[in-house]
Structure 1
Amino acid sequence: MRRLDVPGASHLVLVDGVIHLDEAAAVFEAMLEGWARQQRSRLLAATTVDSRLALIRRFRAFTDENPWTWSPGDVEQFTSWLVGGGTPLAVSTIRGYQMTLRLFCDYLSDPAYGWQEDCVRRFGSAPIQICHEWNTVAHLADYEGKPERRPLTCDELETLFDFADSRVEAIVSSRRKGALAALRDAQMLKTAYAFGLRRQELCRLDLVDLRPNPHAKAWGRYGSLHVRYGKASRGGPPRRRTVLTVPEFDWVIDGMRQWVTEARALFNAGDHPALWVTERANRVSVRYFDKRFAQLRDEAGLPKELVPHCLRHSYVTHLVEFGYPERFVQEQVGHRYASTTAIYTSVSNDFKNRVLAQALARVYSPEKGEQS
């Protein structure tokens, strides 16, 4: 078969005629470099490529064998080791590891890249696909997240926001530093909920992302948010969307206006574009937001299973309870499929009781009874 000069081909990363002191190690490293080139040619993110290479090195260290001698049994032993470890892994995490192994073996066993031919010539055996239906986790459910993750109730949201606001007042009363940062943190929490934002989307907002809505001129520049760093599809750029402010959450506008026009300027951020800035005129990080949310949650006495993403679940659930169409909710949160939005939805018993009451009134109305 004629060798093709495709990214990741063995002859492009292994130089003919070179004698290696450790040929097996040199070939393995060349395989990783070739696979990295192949993935980069598909415009996959550097973080994705690096994490996949790290997993392959981890699997190689576990088996103490090279790819041209791996077998399906190695996958089973590796999975058992992962399951039996001290920190239990989610089913989706284990499947992700197995998928990475499958992709690497697909790459090595594809004749277009020449690895099978080279391995047979050098070591007498060729790499094969070692991941099959009978030794990998089946994808049987649409959602495999932790069941304890859920939307916050209205009471829990009120408790969280009230505690965040009271923290600002307590710092001001004690004349300690940090009142501006506490005000910013409280507004970030409210913005994440009121617009259904992911953590990355929230922290990457810039001032220019505050957009007016011509149909709600009274809200000024706070009629919508332009999200430019939405969750990307694999190999693609961040997805953009515009999230409209809805009347039920118009209470967030006053806080946003106070932050933008009064508080933010006191950080001396200069011409920094970020909406959320720190005392050192840097952008607030996702890690900081996670840490602050956990602190406020714990101090407010809320359940530990609640995480920042639960605010997004709450947003979806409450939009549905307010009666917004499914398509509108899907567009607001940037889901490609309605089934994903449905997973986020967990309406309250009060909402279901109201719907049932309406149905009972509609079916068993006095007018219907008189007609029958």
Structure 2
Amino acid sequence: MSEDAEVLLLRQPGVVPLHEDAAVFSGMLDGFSRQQTSRGLATQTIQMRRWQVERFQRFADSYPWEWLPGDIEDFTTSLFSGPRPLSRSTVRIYHLTLRAFCDFITDQRYGWVAECRSRFGSVPTQVCFEWNTVAHTVDFEGTPGRRPLDYDELDALFAVADARVETLRRQGRKGALAALRDAQLLKTTYAWGLRRREVLGLDVVDLRTNAKTPQWGRFGLLHVRHGKSSKGSIPKRRSVLSLPEFDWAINGLRVYVEQVRERFNPGNHPGLWPTERGTRVGDRYLDRRFAQLRDEAELPAELTLHSLRHSYVTHLIELGYAEQFVQTQVGHAYASTTAIYTSVTDDYRNRVLAAAIDKFYFPEGST
């Protein structure tokens, strides 16, 4: 008998499924998923939360009506341990999911407490508390080593990417076209401050005109349709204006669209970054390509693709753009998030300091 069939039997009075405990747990998960759907959360978020609960159940080797607070503590220890320990923020997400699931199954209105009492003689309880879960005590929980690239590092990264194209072309080796695409992809990520999902999700139709910059034609702005969602909602959309400081990237994108992209024979594929197989460039591929070029440029290993977005925010602030404008460009809901991304260089701070000294000690009209 399938697990779905067993769950249906739960609704029949007096019927005991063959795998009663598994059927009840599956029914809880289905109900939790429906509740999350009713809240308007994205399908991907719901599936991830269900998987997280299932992972905890497998670790505890017991069912919700048997869970104890100590199980959470043991699970947390395992997540922080091993060859690839999870970050503090990721573990906190696990805790939030398990707390929400326990809130659902212990809510008398859903009937799972009475169901478990009648079937197993015990009931589920909340096992996530302030004293055994990760607290959200700071705004930024990322790796401290992650930072923006300075201008020299950006030049080195893009120089290596461009040199790779020339090397492959000169040697007549396969991959020169893909290398040219990848170089422009990285430049686009930086010059418009995009997240990985946002840049990979771009279609050709997302290249738009801006009436204020007619000289750039259809490259006046990028329409981002796959922005980061809030609390599992649908992706946010925004328009990212092209800026004059990055006209070199605008020109590069124009050359790529008009002369390079069609050489991949994309046909009717809408994606801006097609592959030879007629698909989109994938996120893992892009991460590997960035890491390869970063290492060839002899840049620090803690720099990631997302560091390009940090660089964009930092450099816009240094260029004098208002924080509200920068916040809108990168799609941050709160100014505090934009502030976290900002890490101005010593040269910029010294210029600000010099201007302040001049204003204080040598005001206009003084001799």
TM (normalized to structure 2)?
A: 0.94
| Equivalent position of 1:266 in the other structure | 263
Name the residue aligned to 1:229.
Answer: 226
Query: What pairs with 1:108-257 in structure 2 (closer than 5 Å)?
Result: 108-257=105-254
State the SS of the aligned residue for 1:250. helix
What residue is the counterpart of 1:99 in the other structure?
96
Give me the whole-angstrom Cα distance separating, in 1, the residues matched to 2:275 and 2:258. 16
The one-letter code of the counterpart of 1:312 is R
Q: Is the 8 A contact 2:10 2:16 kept in 1?
A: no
Deviations 1:53-109 (A, max 9, x none): 222222222223221122222222222232233322211111111111101100011
Paired with 1:217 and 1:161, the residues of 2 have a C-alpha distance of 27
For structure 2, the 5+ residue unaligned runs are 1-6
Match of 1:28 in 2: 25
* 1:11 positional shift: 9.2
Q: Is the 8 A contact 2:57 2:63 kept in 1?
A: yes
Q: Are residue 360 (structure 1) and residue 360 (structure 2) matched?
A: no
Q: Are the aligned partners of 1:14 and 1:27 in contact in 2 as well (CA < 8 Å)? A: no
Measure, in 2, the Cα distance between the counterparts of 1:80 and 1:41.
33
Report the Cα distance in structure 1 between the residues aligned to 2:278 and 2:58, rounded to whole angstroms: 43
Per-residue CA deviations over 1:26-76 (Å, capped at 9, x if unaligned) read 212221222122222333233322222222222222223221122222222
Tell whether 2:317 aligns with 1:320: yes
Q: Aligned letter for 1:277?
A: P
The 2-side partners of 1:350 and 1:272 are apart by: 45
Higher mean alpha-carbon deviation, 159-168 vs 269-278, is at 269-278
2:335 is aligned with 1:338: yes
Amino acid at match of 1:57: E
The RMSD of aligned alpha carbons is 1.8
Contact residue 206 and residue 224 of structure 2 kept, 8 A: yes
- 1:203 deviation in Å? 0.8
1:295-334 deviation line (CA, Å, top 9, x unaligned): 1111221111111100000000000000000000000000
Q: Aligned residue for 2:293?
A: 296
**Partner deviation per Cα, 1:329-369 (whole Å, 9 max, x = no partner):** 00000000000000100000000000011110111115576
Q: In the TM superposition, what are the counterparts of 1:41-80 in structure 2 within 5 Å?
A: 41-80=38-77
In structure 2, distance between residues paired with 1:172 and 1:53: 48
Would you say the 8 A contact 2:10–2:24 is kept in 1?
no
Q: Which moved more, 1:293-302 or 1:155-164?
A: 293-302
Q: Distance in 1 between matches of 2:47 and 2:290?
A: 29
Q: Distance in 1 between matches of 2:9 and 2:140?
A: 41
The alpha-carbon deviation at position 195 of structure 1 amounts to 0.1
**Matched position secondary structure for 1:134:** coil
Q: For the Cα contact (< 8 Å) 1:13–1:34, is it kept in 2? A: no
Q: CA deviation at 1:248?
A: 0.8
Q: For structure 1, which runs of at least 5 residues remain unmatched after alignment?
A: 1-9
Name 2:278's counterpart in structure 1: 281
Contact 2:195 2:306 in 1 (8 A): yes
Please, what TM-score do these two structures have when normalized by structure 1?
Answer: 0.93
Q: Is the 8 A contact 1:14 1:30 kept in 2?
A: no
Amino acid at match of 1:246: L
Please give the alpha-carbon distance, in whole angstroms, between the structure 1 residues aligned to 2:47 and 2:9.
Answer: 20
SS across alignment from 1:227: strand
Matched AA of 1:335: H
Out of 296-305 and 159-168, give the one that drifted further.
296-305
Specify the code of the residue in structure 1 equivalent to 2:323.
E
Counting matched residue pairs gives: 361
Identical aligned residues as a percent: 58
The DSSP-based 3-state class of the residue aligned with 1:297 is: helix
**1:13 Cα deviation (Å)?**
6.0
Find the aligned partners of 1:369 and 1:255 in 2 and give their Cα distance.
48
